[in-house]
Amino acid sequence: MPYDPLIVQPMREELTSAGFTELRSPEDVDAAITSSGISLIVVNSVCGCAAGGARPGVKMSLDNSKKPDHLFTVFAGQDLEATAKAREYFKGQPPSSPAIALIKDGELIGFMPRHAIEGASPDMISSALKKAYDEVCA
């Protein structure tokens, strides 16, 4: 059962205010992820490690000379079908929320699952993402 929309709205806005586009349907996901270039997809969540690590770390990572072409987010526990569709693109990775994925031309090239986010500071998450951006982004 999805969470109350009023509860998750501030969590959504934490990413959309940083330039992320919400993908609310499977069709949105397909259109976004298959677009050309590098896409960062954040599987957002209500859990503490999303609030304390993933969202702030992702936002901090965007302060980098190289960054993804596209910023997308789905919300686990809220946009169930969109989240399930996004996870189909995360080949070889078990379902995880929060999670952070890098996709290039529709193919998974990097993935940070919940267990890598739990206990990590926003600085640690940001640094790992910036390193990935420097390697794969133009």
Query: What amino acid positions are annotated as catalytic residues?
Result: 47, 49
Q: How many CB atoms lie within 10 A of CB 61?
A: 23
40's enclosing H/E stretch is strand 38-44
- Residue owning tokens 């998974």: 108
Q: Is 86 exposed, middle or buried (0-12, 13-18, 19+ CB in 10 A)?
A: buried
Q: How many CB atoms lie within 10 A of CB 22?
A: 18
Question: Are the CB atoms for 102 and 68 separated by under 8 Å?
Answer: yes
